[in-house]
């Protein structure tokens, strides 16, 4: 005689859908609120990039001006005569969307010019500092995925974005954090950050990210330092790590990245002073966070497609790899029990 068996499926960790990755500075609600405040906008900047593997596939980025406020529109795809918008932009008013689409098509048909001129020199792309909308999208996407990775650790926390640059990443972190402060030594970059990415709970301040001298002890639950280590001289890295430990709460987490010095396609970068191998990076974190659990990850470079979910992915690693960038998370063991894994 057969025993009755329950047909109810047991849930497993693998069956749980992961939280959506935050990859853009603005949320759907931010976009709704922007157009609720402004019924008239103008395109101040339009960039159209063409996919290298599919010449009929374009990706558009637009800066809208409305009174004294601006909004970046990123990740708009145009393929086979149809536009596709990322989820946070699907709340745009139809009239605005149609007007923008007409201008994009007109640009493609008439001029084939990929970028319109910018009057602000600070918005120009130098090849090093990433500014959304003006940098090549593949450069933005690689950086944004790092910030999306870090944001998963920031829910409800006090967060520091050390070396925030133009501030888009601070805004991404701030969408999860209780409060987020971005600091950078460049006042021009911070003026741009404040004009584009300030929000309730998201603030910016001039400070040397290598020393953090103006910040209080134990002030942050999470310190994020992406694209910072490689810009420091070897002699200044101990002072930076000491500063991180000082401003980080005793039970806080540190999320950091560094360029892989052993990458097979590595190019000489005059701005990079301290790229690291896997072992050097691992030893650095172990030395400064001896009582923490340290997890290490690698990030792929852009593969040349617009299949964004596949591009610049971050994956867990345990030994040296050919990834372009290494990332590390140092956090107390007990913080892992809340389910907030990166």
Residue 127 confidence class, pLDDT cut points 50, 70, 90: low
Same domain, 151 and 215: yes
Judge if 173 and 51 occupy the same domain: no
Identify whether residues 93 and 238 lie together within a single domain.
Answer: no
Among 47-61, 135-149, 166-180, 298-312, the range of highest mean pLDDT: 166-180
Residues 57 and 200 in one domain: no
Within 10 A of 120 (CB to CB), how many other CB atoms are there? 13
- Give backbone dihedrals phi and psi of 105, rounded to 5 degrees, phi first: -65, -40
* Residue 218 predicted with pLDDT over 50: yes
**Structure tokens given for 231:** 């810009």
Whether residue 2 lies inside any domain: the answer is no
Which residues touch 91 (CB under 8 Å, ≥6 apart)? Answer: 28, 31, 32, 35
- The answer for residues whose C-beta is within 8 angstroms of residue 41's C-beta and 6 or more apart is 35, 64, 65, 66, 71, 96
pLDDT in tens, 18-61: 456 789 999 999 999 999 999 888 888 888 887 656 556 788 88
- Where does the pLDDT of residue 16 fall: very low under 50, low under 70, confident under 90, or very high at 90 and above? very low
Same domain, 179 and 321: yes
DSSP state letters, 19-85: PPPP-SSS-HHHHHHHHHH-S--EEEEEEEEE-SS-TTEEEEEEEEEETTEEEEEEEEEEETTEEE-
Provide mean pLDDT across the span 59-76.
89
Q: Which of 7, 109, 93 has its CA nearest to residue 58?
A: 109
């Amino acid at each position: 005689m057969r025993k009755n068996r329950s047909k109810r499926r047991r849930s497993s960790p693998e069956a749980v859908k992961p939280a959506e990755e935050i990859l853009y500075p603005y949320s759907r609600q931010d976009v709704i609120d922007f157009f609720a405040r402004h019924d008239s906008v103008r395109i101040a900047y339009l960039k159209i990039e063409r996919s290298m593997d599919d010449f009929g596939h374009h990706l558009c980025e637009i800066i809208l001006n409305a009174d004294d406020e601006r909004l970046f529109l990123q990740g708009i795809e145009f393929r086979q005569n149809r536009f596709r918008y990322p989820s946070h932009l699907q709340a745009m008013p139809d009239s605005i969307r149609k007007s923008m689409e007409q201008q994009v098509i007109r640009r493609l048909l008439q001029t084939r010019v990929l970028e319109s001129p910018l009057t602000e020199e600070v918005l120009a792309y130098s090849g090093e500092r990433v500014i959304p909308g003006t940098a090549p999208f593949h450069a933005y996407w690689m950086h944004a995925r790092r910030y999306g990775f870090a944001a998963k650790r920031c829910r409800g926390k006090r967060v520091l974005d050390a070396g925030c640059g133009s501030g888009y990443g601070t805004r991404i972190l701030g969408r999860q954090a209780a409060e987020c402060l971005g600091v950078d030594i460049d006042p021009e970059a911070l003026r741009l950050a404040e004009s584009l990415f300030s929000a309730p709970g998201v603030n910016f301040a001039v400070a040397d990210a290598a020393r953090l001298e103006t910040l209080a002890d134990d002030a942050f639950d999470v310190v994020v330092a992406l694209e910072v280590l490689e810009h420091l001289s070897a002699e200044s890295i101990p002072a930076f790590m000491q500063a991180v430990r000082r401003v980080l709460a005793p039970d806080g987490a540190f999320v950091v990245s560094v360029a892989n010095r052993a990458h097979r396609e590595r190019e000489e970068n005059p701005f990079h002073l301290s790229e690291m191998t896997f072992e050097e990076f691992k030893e650095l974190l172990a030395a400064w966070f001896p009582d923490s659990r340290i997890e290490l990850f690698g990030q792929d470079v852009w593969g040349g497609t617009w299949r964004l979910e596949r591009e610049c992915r971050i994956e867990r690693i345990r030994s040296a790899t050919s990834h372009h960038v290494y990332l590390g998370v140092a956090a107390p063991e007990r913080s892992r029990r809340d389910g907030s894994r990166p």
